[in-house]
Structure 1
Amino acid sequence: MAEQKVKSRYFIAKVNSFPSLKQAVQSGQWACADRATSPHPREILTQALSQGKVYLIFSVSNCHGWHGYAKMLNIPGEAAKRTEENVKISQNHKDVKTIKDSQNKSLSDSKESCLTVANSFTNTDPSPLNCEDSNSVKKLPEFYYFDIDWRLNYLEFGELCLNSKMTEELKCIENPGGNTICVNKCRNWQEVSIEVGESLCRKMKDLYNDLCKKRDEKKKREAELHVEPFYKETKILTVQETWMKIVTQVERDLGKVLLACPFGSQRYNLQTADSDTDMFIVYQARTRDILGFNPPKQTIKNHESEACDYTIHEVYRYCELLLSGDARCVECLFLHESTIVQSSPEWEKLSQGRNMFLNRECLDKYLRDAQGSKGTKFLQKWCKDHPEELILPAKMCKMLYVIVRLLQNARDIVQGTDLKVYREMESTERETLMTIRAGHVPVADAWKIIKELEQSIASKSEQVDSRSEETEKFLEDWLITLRHNNFMKPEK
């Protein structure tokens, strides 16, 4: 009875170095050599290929991972066309029986020649070379080349691979004892089960797709940096002149400005003489542009090369952020009138429902920013690394200042009061923040301030409700009204 056909068989292919892996990818060929005893790899692979598809899963030695997989196209010894490099290697393997110092080379040169030949192709278990003797060396094995079709490899990402920690749960049988071992410990040319082989390939595909996604996102960010900046003023203007010019440009090129205001220290009345003016603008794109062939940009930010820092959101993007609890967007509904550069009647209607957005989402956002990797966690690490420091350096003082400001606003939410974005001149909150910013707070006092705020928040945080359907309906109705009124307005 003929042997039952199998769909696929998978074998491990060990590679000595990245140059060898790169050569295999470029040439589309791999090879095997006979062992000391039968069955030889070429016999095993030939038999496997006669029954179905054969896939090789490659791993570079000492790199602790998996670097790709390829499909065998023909049996060992029947490569369609050897590359020039492979022919050279093969010729060396066939003809080199001894390495003789015919040109008065040193012993070290002879050793190097031995190692070069031995390492030029590495998917075999050759007998050890006697490189101590410059006059003789054991015969190198015959290599049997075959063509391969690469289905996946990571060479475009450098030396990245699927880390072996991600495959520790995959097991295979170690012959001839039959013991179960981790796939990471498989020998060269060892066969693994279909389940293990497919799982390895699937994990490699997932990693490859993730790497491609990150690469594309990086390219997109880089492309955005080369886009011509929205605001291209080169003259030195006053703050008021800059505001007027950028607001005018938004209304001319993008749509109606609903709100123009600063963000950063000026928003909170915490600026110093060295503070920059950071601009925040919400605009409404023309409804005809949204429905037609000119979709608006949802967010526009300044280039690093520009002197003016600005963030411009189309109102839809602003509403998305507002619903998600974005603190900076929620604060826009609680601004002090002295900090508003320009606002529309429509914005005033939105602000009437501002307390609806002081919900669990907004509270959690304040706490994540205050207590995350750029907040108290980083401060804790710094204090642990600098136990002898009693006063925080300037950089850490600024971080502490931001942490405390965020926690102050989080406390406003749990107390059920309006968000105090603007710190009044004589207020305790402002005095605390400006003292921190000036660097006059010892480390011990800094932690005391943080702990008191955190305890105050924790005691009442359960009373804060999550975002309601009423909140979503209120915002959606407001947005739809904007779009409708603009669409019905006759073109000038």
Structure 2
Amino acid sequence: MILSAVVGSHAYGLATAASDTDRRGVYVAPTESFWRFEKPPSSVDGPLDEQVTWEVEHFCLLALKGNPTVLEVLVSDRIEVCTAIGAELRDLLPAFLSERVAVSYERATAQQLTRATSAVEPKWKQVMHALRLLMVCRDLLATGGLLIDMTANRAALLAVRSGEVPLAECLTWADRLRADIATTPRAVPAVPDTRRVEDWLISVRRRNLDAHHPS
């Protein structure tokens, strides 16, 4: 394990007494394990409830695509494990950020809203998180920085979660955020810095091998 952080509502500033503690992390499989027919798993569930850990290469590939859940690990201020290599990974955040986040966040938002509105009763928690994702995406594209703390919007978002805001109003809010995303000038590059990330990953593999086979 090189990095583990609490994400979800606790990291967003939206936690309530009923909120689970979601943990996401990154581990480095031994370099030699990739030489075998049976490769290391790309992710591992547990051992704690609501905990998922990605192998570092898989994590990087997801982050380069702008996966919202993965990127949160790099900016959460609720860090539980962070080795020197984990700190290097967090420092790589700018290399992962690009206009691809618009597509990834929009896809995640559409999935959230579809699940939330297809039930007999709206799933208000998912509606809230869809709005949160759109707000994060809008600000990321406009500023170039990934900020997930929603404390400033806590009251409005928790009102959505509790069902106090009519669904039609929530969907109108989502449409406004999408319009902002579509028209805002981009403060991020068109594509991520894949070479920088790949060079770092290679260095991690080499250092891991050297650690097991010192000269």
What's the counterpart of residue 170 of structure 2? 446
Instruction: Check conservation: 1:376, 1:403, Cα contact below 8 A.
Output: no
Instruction: Check conservation: 1:286, 1:486, Cα contact below 8 A.
Output: yes
- After superposition, give the CA deviation of every residue in 1:227-284 in whole Å (9 maximum; x if it has no partner): xxxxxxxxxxxxxxxxxxxxxxxxxxxxxx1111123222322121112222212100
- Matched residue count: 214
Aligned-partner Cα distance in 1 for 2:190–2:180: 19
Aligned-partner Cα distance in 2 for 1:462–1:415: 6
Tell me the TM-score normalized by structure 2. 0.86
Q: 1:489 to 1:450 in 2, by over 3 A?
A: same
Aligned-partner Cα distance in 1 for 2:68–2:48: 25
What's the counterpart of residue 277 of structure 1? 21
1:73-152 mapped onto 2 (5 Å cutoff):
none
SS in 2 for 1:330: helix
Q: Which moved more, 1:270-279 or 1:478-487?
A: 270-279
Q: CA deviation at 1:315?
A: 0.8
Aligned-partner Cα distance in 2 for 1:330–1:416: 16
User: Which of the numbers 115, 119, 143 marks the counterpart of 1:416?
Assistant: 143
Give the unaligned 5+ runs of structure 1: 1-256, 387-392
SS in 2 for 1:316: helix
Structure 1 stretches of at least 4 aligned residues deviating more than 6 Å after TM superposition = none
Matched, 1:375 2:113: yes
User: Which of the numbers 185, 202, 212 marks the counterpart of 1:480?
Assistant: 202
Tell me the TM-score normalized by structure 1. 0.40
Q: 1:301 to 1:377 in 2, by over 3 A?
A: closer
More helix, by proportion: 2
Aligned-partner Cα distance in 1 for 2:163–2:32: 52
What's the counterpart of residue 286 of structure 1? 30
What's the counterpart of residue 71 of structure 2? 330
Q: CA deviation at 1:488?
A: 1.0
What's the counterpart of residue 363 of structure 1? 102
Instruction: Check conservation: 1:322, 1:357, Cα contact below 8 A.
Output: yes
Aligned-partner Cα distance in 1 for 2:8–2:45: 15
Q: 1:419 to 1:342 in 2, by over 3 A?
A: same
Q: 1:477 to 1:408 in 2, by over 3 A?
A: same
Instruction: Check conservation: 2:3, 2:82, Cα contact below 8 A.
Output: yes
SS in 1 for 2:123: helix
Matched, 1:435 2:173: no
Aligned-partner Cα distance in 2 for 1:307–1:335: 18
Aligned-partner Cα distance in 1 for 2:58–2:199: 15
Higher normalized contact order (CA 8 Å, seq sep 6+, divided by chain length) = 2
Instruction: Check conservation: 1:359, 1:413, Cα contact below 8 A.
Output: no
Q: Aligned-residue CA RMSD in angstroms?
A: 2.7
What's the counterpart of residue 184 of structure 2? 460
Give the unaligned 5+ runs of structure 2: none
Bigger CA radius of gyration: 1
More strand, by proportion: 1
SS in 1 for 2:70: helix
Q: CA deviation at 1:321?
A: 0.9
